[in-house]
Each structure stands twice: as structure tokens, then as C-alpha cells.
Amino acid sequence: MSVIIRHGQDGDAAGFITIIGTCWAQYPGIVFDVDAEMPELRTLASYYANRGGALWAAESEGQIAGLVATVPQTAGAWEICRVYTMPDTHGSDLGHRLLATAEQHARDAGAERLVLWSDTRFDRAHRFYEKHGYVRHGAIRVLHDLSNTLEFGYAKQVAGVAMLDAAAAASAERRLAEILCA
């Protein structure tokens, strides 16, 4: 499967909505209501551009296969947003390529730290982020949405040094053990 990663466009909305809906459908208790909770999905490229960020789409044979975005937060921090690929691409390098694209953009813009949020039910995503150097950070965020979402915060230091809190230390334990064994 040949996949290109390009800048996302508002016209990609149907593909983005399909991917996110398909991924969320794998987990019980998650409600996917675009109009009620995520109307920005209909013009996602504009949404991130208006916030100073960027959006990318992975395209294969004319179909959207994945997406990722990044947006500046506080001084030196950029948030990685909406890392999704179609389930049939899970385990391929597509998620890695998308994440690397967003991370590089943020680093080029001066990011010292990358942050992201992930639903506590998305255990596969948590392993993916930890494999790519992210560690849990801070308190669990409560969204008060239709899905009763609780989210773990993740962070990755790309410049300088960061102190790990208890959640980050626990999250980093497996990766640190791998480094020690190597």
C-alpha cells in the first residue's frame, strides 16, 4: 500500500470523520456525535490553521487513511492532536510517520516539549505513545462529554531536561528498563 502524507484540507472532512468514528467504534461506551461535540471536524484544516497549528492527512489510493495535527500551547509546548489511522493500518509504520511529521513541525517551530491527551480506554494508543518516548504526565482530565471521557496527559521533552512526576515515572518504567538492558 502506497501512502503519501500531505497537508490536510477542509475537503478531507468526510475521510477524517470516517477514520475517527471507525477507531472510536472499537471501544465500548464511546459516543461519536460530530454535530454535538466536534463540529470542527467539518473544517479541521482551518480550525488548526486559525490556532497557529497544522494538519496532515495520510492518503492511499485516493482515500484518507490517517491524520495528525499539532498546535502551539504555552511557551515552548506544542500539543499533538488527533493521531488516528484506519484500523487495518495499525501495526504498520503509518502512525509512526504521521506522529514524526507533527513532531518535526513542532520542533522546527521551536517546541521544547510535546504534549497530548488520550482517552483512558485507548490502551493501544498508550502503548504507541510510550513506545515513541511519551510519558504520562499530570492529573487525569475529565471532559464532561457524551462519552464520559477521562483522559491521560502525555508529554515528551524534546529540548532541555524535565523532571518526571509519579505518573510519568510509572509510565516510563518499561522504556527505561529496555534502555538499561540494552
Question: What total number of domains does the chain contain?
Answer: 1
Q: Could you list the residue range(s) of the whole structural domain that residue 9 is in?
A: 4-181
The chain-wide mean pLDDT, for the chain, equals 92
Question: Which of 109, 102, 116, 111 has its CA nearest to residue 159?
Answer: 111
Rounded percentage of the chain residues whose pLDDT exceeds 70: 87
| Whether residue 109 has pLDDT greater than 80 | yes
| Whether residue 42 has pLDDT greater than 90 | yes
pTM higher than 0.75 for the full model?
A: yes
pLDDT-derived band of residue 45, with 50, 70 and 90 as boundaries?
Answer: very high
CATH number at residue 66: 3.40.630.30
- How far is it, in rounded angstroms, from Cα 72 to Cα 63? 28
| Whether residue 172 has pLDDT greater than 90 | no
- How far is it, in rounded angstroms, from Cα 109 to Cα 113? 11
Q: Diameter of the chain by CA atoms?
A: 49
Q: What is the pLDDT of residue 75?
A: 84
Q: What is the pLDDT of residue 174?
A: 66
| Whether residue 111 has pLDDT greater than 90 | yes
- Cβ proximity of 72 and 109 under 8 Å: yes
pLDDT in tens, 3-18: 999 999 999 999 999 9
Q: What is the pLDDT of residue 182?
A: 74
Q: What is the pLDDT of residue 169?
A: 58
pLDDT in tens, 68-100: 999 999 889 999 999 999 999 998 999 999 999
Give 44 or 177, the one with higher predicted confidence.
44
Q: What is the pLDDT of residue 163?
A: 53
- Strand (E) positions, 38-101? 54-60, 63-72, 77-85
Q: What is the pLDDT of residue 1?
A: 65
CB within 8 A of 104, min separation 6: which ones?
none
- C-alpha radius of gyration, the chain, whole number: 16
Q: 28: which 3 cell numbers?
A: 465500548
Q: What is the pLDDT of residue 38?
A: 97
| Whether residue 64 has pLDDT greater than 90 | yes
